[in-house]
Structure 1
């Protein structure tokens, strides 16, 4: 049966199914079947947009860049020089000067501490126990040309310990009960002998619970079985956690000051250390003694070349942004004098050997 219009469709439904059934049957038909629908042409540009969406996006293959060329563009980018070179500028003899055209003013350590105490007075910042940080700038050139030193990661014993806001767990390994008692009294969290080594191997004692491991020389042969587990924590005389004076080693790693250096990615010969030497409420002489101990430890790993290893030291005390340049000659000159004396002793010894050889 052909139905030509909407009216004809309705009459056919009522005549065939009745009023109640006709409504149910009508719901099965779509709008296009019940009503007349006109399909007009799409708006201008619509078909073109649809056609473009169907076009596949080509994925560009990323070309492999060798590891030695990946930072090439980064190194070409303009950067500011980290090392301050102001020896060509004039010295200021006034209380007020234009910093752009004059050298940095040099302060003694005592003067720098006094200046920072003024800014942290209760009437200003009101932080009398703020940490006093020292920024040490290094020349990281090695003895050989175009070679540079690795970053430093050391811990130094200081004469005046202070709260650094961290708890360090120390594991001490030694054979005799007397040495274990000495280690515990010095501040070790756990001390033991061969039984403790077996517990570490079995997993009952985890090395991850301890930041540092110190050991006595008498247990070194048995300690070699833990080399794979300890990795960088393995005690050596070079790192200072292997020796005969167990109390000194424990005290150093528990209360000493840890510092690390960081090299600039653009200036490989420029290194920087920022370390706290104490709190402002400590005596200035105590802060200076800690500072001197750190400088001497840094100079102990200096390369054997004529250029100075420590180029500049700055005193900073957050939250203040004031930076004061320190006079390092009294501390660096002391180390240079010791080196010259050692060289002199070696020369005298060599001369004596030559004399003996000549006389014979």
Structure 2
């Protein structure tokens, strides 16, 4: 006897009796949902490849930038591998002659090129955890040369005689209390000038504009508050600016790069400028620093790649005796 199609499908289906037995216990699903913690996607900013490469290089160890001359032997021949032997030190006059050869019209054809000097400084104080502040100075060279236009200097003085003296040295802005009021009212902007020189007779009157001038405020420590206006004006208008650049990864190392003359100048004049620069840097040695402040001196002229070591010890001894 054949059954209807609807009954045949029901008869073929197996009966499930395990559903009540396999049911989860009460609260299982809630506990599993509570364990699931959604991870928040942190969006990272895009970093350029050049910045990423610089970050990777900063993590790599770096060799000591200070050259230890004493660990290398003296060369026994005129031709030697420079990295294996102690470098020869030249007198300034000899270095000028060697730079003139490379900048001869038949070579680089720059007979009037600027001659630069790089001075390495020891910035670590006697206490190993402390370092000297950056060096910022202006030095008067005994033999000036054309390098850059004169700087803008404002002079604060009261008497008519001092004002006439300042104007004779090429200062465009000279004044007393009326000039101070112009800075206070905003009629005169401090950004128009590179340096400010003042006479001690206006020391009290200058205090209201101390916040406007900030680091350029005339002070005895910087040599900008003085009675010798003529020499001070010439130094800050035509002098050579010295600024040290510290290595952020080697805090005890810093260097000063400055021009000392041109190759067509007499070699004696260039040597006198180098001696004045070294003497000024040696006098900038801070308190708590008993070792030599200037550790190495090299000269170079663009575009020649060579760098010549200069004899530093005689210059330091001359500066100590002066």
**TM-score tier after normalising by the smaller chain length:** 0.7 to 0.9
| TM-score (norm: length of structure 1) | 0.72
User: How many residue pairs align between the two structures?
Assistant: 275
Corresponding residue number in structure 2 for 1:277:
260
CA-CA distance at 1:242 after TM superposition: 0.8
Which residue of the other structure, out of 80, 102, 106, is the alignment partner of 2:89? Answer: 106
Question: Where does structure 1 lack aligned partners over 5 or more consecutive residues?
Answer: 1-55, 63-71, 339-360
Which residue of the other structure, out of 146, 159, 167, is the alignment partner of 1:163? Answer: 146
CA deviations on 1:35-58 (whole Å, 9 max, x unpaired) are: xxxxxxxxxxxxxxxxxxxxx992
Question: Where does structure 2 lack aligned partners over 5 or more consecutive residues?
Answer: 1-38, 46-54
Q: Which range moves more in the overlay, 240-249 or 90-99? A: 90-99
After superposition, where does 1:222-301 map in structure 2 within 5 Å?
Answer: 222-301=205-284
1:142 corresponds to 2:142: no
Separation in structure 2 between the aligned mates of residue 95 and residue 144 of structure 1, nearest angstrom: 42
Q: Secondary structure at the match of 2:100?
A: helix
Corresponding residue number in structure 1 for 2:298:
314
Q: Secondary structure at the match of 1:221?
A: coil
Q: Which range moves more in the overlay, 249-258 or 155-164? A: 155-164
CA RMSD of the aligned region, Å?
2.2
After superposition, where does 1:72-91 map in structure 2 within 5 Å?
Answer: 76-91=59-74
CA-CA distance at 1:337 after TM superposition: 4.4
Asked whether the equivalents of residues 170 and 187 of structure 1 are also in contact (C-alpha less than 8 Å), the reply is no
Q: Secondary structure at the match of 1:278?
A: strand
- Structure showing greater radius of gyration is 1
| TM-score (norm: length of structure 2) | 0.80
Asked whether the equivalents of residues 260 and 273 of structure 1 are also in contact (C-alpha less than 8 Å), the reply is yes
Separation in structure 2 between the aligned mates of residue 108 and residue 161 of structure 1, nearest angstrom: 21
Corresponding residue number in structure 2 for 1:323:
307
Asked whether the equivalents of residues 316 and 324 of structure 1 are also in contact (C-alpha less than 8 Å), the reply is yes
Q: Secondary structure at the match of 1:204?
A: coil
Corresponding residue number in structure 1 for 2:319:
335
Q: Which runs of 4+ in 1 moved over 6 A?
A: 72-75
Separation in structure 2 between the aligned mates of residue 306 and residue 232 of structure 1, nearest angstrom: 28
CA-CA distance at 1:224 after TM superposition: 0.9
CA-CA distance at 1:159 after TM superposition: 1.1
CA deviations on 1:230-283 (whole Å, 9 max, x unpaired) are: 111100011111100111110000010001101111211111111111111111
